[in-house]
Chains A and B, each alone.
Chain A
Amino acid sequence: MEIVVCMKRVPETGDAEIAVDSTGRDIVRDRLTYDINESDNYALEEAVLLKEKFGGTVTLVSMGPPETDETLRMGLAKGGDVAVRLWDHRFARSDGHATAFVLAKAIREMEFDLVLTGCIATDDGRTQVGVTIAALLGIPHATYVMKVDIEDGIATVQSELEGGLIAVNRMKTPALFTIQTGINEPRYPSLISIKKATAKEIRTLTLDDLGLEASSAGEEGSKTKIVKLTPPPVGKRAEILEGAPEVVSARLTEIFKEKGMI
């Protein structure tokens, strides 16, 4: 089974202090550390599990500057076979649509039965790239996928819906799934697999290599534009509950009930 996994390198923003930069359209990035987008990591693991079951190749694709190679290499160490990085200064400031356009152009040239992406990007909170790639490639898709079964070219997938509902969809491959976190338990790469991964070559493709027009990527190819970033307004002071655990938990339950959360 030939599987393509789309990976995004994102800043780790969980514990970091985020500030808006002088352009007002981006965040200050120089002190941030980067990592693979969380749900992309699950997509990668799902691809490797399917490869281990059915054989084939896992190809990793990412659009990003040279530093993205490190994310791709870690992906190779975790079980990817081939990695391709798409980069050109004309790709900078691509929105979800332009990014999907570039990725789809690269993937179209590849042999694939499945394309797996994460279900959401943790940096901009968007969920657009995966489904747009599916539309551009003209293949069926499912989102927030929690389970994948493949038999005789037919994929049966379970998607997570609101309120804990599960939708079961069946479709022919090739297909694209956006993978939800928790579908599997992503592995840690062993030292030996890290060593092997660093010896592998990462292919780089530019705008010209992909045969794209400059107008289809970057800011020009984007359908949306970030006009302004602002930090969220400071809310009312948080209420700190104090006292014994049973007192605090009772009060917490009351608050949840008052707010209609339970």
Chain B
Amino acid sequence: MDFDLTQDQRLVQEMVRKFAVNELEPVASEIDKTGEFPWSNIKKMAELGLLGVIVPEEYGGAGLDFLSLAIVIEEISKVCASTGVIVAVNNSLAAYPILAFGDVKQRQKYLPVLARAEQIGAIGLTEPNAGSDVAGLESTAVVDGDYYRLNGTKRFITNGVEAGVYVIFAYTDKTKGHKGLSAFIVDGDTPGFSRGDHEDLMGLRATGNCELIFEDAKVPKENLLGEEGQGFKIGMHTLDVSRIDIGAQSVGIAQGALEASVKYAKERTAFGKPIAQFQLIQAMVAEMATQIEAARFLVYHAAYLKDKQVPRFSKEASMAKWFAAEACLNAVRKAVQVHGGYGYTKDYPVERYYRDAKCMEIYEGTTEIQKIVIARSLLKD
């Protein structure tokens, strides 16, 4: 059993760590405040290959493995969770399903565009009345000559406001249940498609989150991803991959919170000595660090399974996502506590981490959904 990262992975980690600290951290608080999508940093990251980490070189990406992607997301999220999820969505929720299920034409058309961040990608599964409940989705796609006519509304779409390429799920045949769900690649300038207002979120505020509205949107037939009725399979498989990244994002936020707490505990004095010397502070730091380490191993292991191309890793991806989200929530709660009153102000980054962290146990499958996935894989015949 080898716990060491490869030399590639270590160099990637070192490069992204430096980039994140030098380029992303200085604007993290500002974009959290303004909600401005960090286009200039996205372009810089695209030049380094970070928007197409897992996209093969022949399609303009870096062609690295999923563990490298997890490392990239972790390092970015350590200083800016908003930027972390923008990169994660572009890689694993937009580029990945096109890579895994798209035909050669679709890959050639969309993957280089996404990898170079000429357009940013987004995915539309969740709706106003259904997120976890796929059967409850109401969007429909009906054949009309050489086109599908899409109708419906998607909600809480990360990158939504700024994206130019969307992977959208809609029912082509509602009577077949989840086997009637299909996936489409939708261009941002599709007639009949529009974007709603920027959501005023608690955290992850610079992610261009919005509603997507389809009113007889005219999507060419060649933009069907995979085959009609494959939508559920595409969605679930894509979520398995993206849950690894949300796990990585959680580990990154938690690690950032831990490092901020260690620094603060050494600097802040109370009763005549640094608070780091008090055992109740030490206990918090120890608990944070241990849970983060455990979460990181689960995340890296799930990524390793994906890289090994094992056919099913849903259970491990869900374990990683759930556990890392919980470790993250615990870490940010303790981090604010270590900072005391200052942790409750916007003068210290842990206040932002605290708000960003909450989403970790909500999006891309709530913690409750992860537990169901894990239990089902254990209890099935």
> Could you mark each residue 64-76 of chain A with 1 if its beta carbon is under 8 Å from any beta carbon of chain B, else 0?
0000001001100
* A74 vs B50: C-alpha distance when bound (angstroms): 17
CB distance from A122 to the nearest CB of B (A): 15
A contact residues around B47 at 8 Å (CB): 190
Q: Is the CB of A191 within 8 A of B7?
A: no
Q: Is the CB of B62 within 8 A of A73?
A: no
14 contacts between A and B (CB under 8 A): A74-B11, A77-B15, A189-B11, A191-B48, A191-B62, A191-B68, A192-B49, A192-B63, A194-B8, A194-B11, A194-B15, A195-B62, A197-B11, A198-B11
* A40 vs B49: C-alpha distance when bound (angstroms): 25
Q: Is the CB of B48 within 8 A of A188?
A: yes
Contact of A189 among B7, B15, B64 (CB under 8 A): B15
A contact residues around B6 at 8 Å (CB): 198
Report if A191-B64 is in contact (Cβ < 8 Å); known contacts: A70-B7, A73-B7.
yes
* A77 vs B19: C-alpha distance when bound (angstroms): 15
B contact residues around A74 at 8 Å (CB): 11, 14-15
A contact residues around B19 at 8 Å (CB): 188
* A70 vs B19: C-alpha distance when bound (angstroms): 18
B contact residues around A197 at 8 Å (CB): 11
* A192 vs B68: C-alpha distance when bound (angstroms): 12
Q: Which of A185-241 contact B (CB under 8 A)?
A: 188-192, 194-195, 197-198
A contact residues around B53 at 8 Å (CB): 191
* A190 vs B51: C-alpha distance when bound (angstroms): 11
Q: Which of B59-74 contact A (CB under 8 A)?
A: 62-64, 68
A77, A188, A190 pick with most chain B CB within 10 angstroms: A188
Dominant SS among interface residues on chain A: helix
* A35 vs B11: C-alpha distance when bound (angstroms): 11
B contact residues around A191 at 8 Å (CB): 12, 15, 48-50, 53, 62, 64, 68
Cβ-closest chain B residue relative to A78: B15
A contact residues around B7 at 8 Å (CB): 70, 73, 198
Q: Is the CB of B11 within 8 A of A73?
A: yes
* A194 vs B62: C-alpha distance when bound (angstroms): 10
B contact residues around A190 at 8 Å (CB): 47-49, 62
B contact residues around A194 at 8 Å (CB): 8, 11-12, 15
A contact residues around B62 at 8 Å (CB): 190-192, 195
Q: Does B312 contact A (CB under 8 A)?
A: no
A contact residues around B8 at 8 Å (CB): 194-195, 198
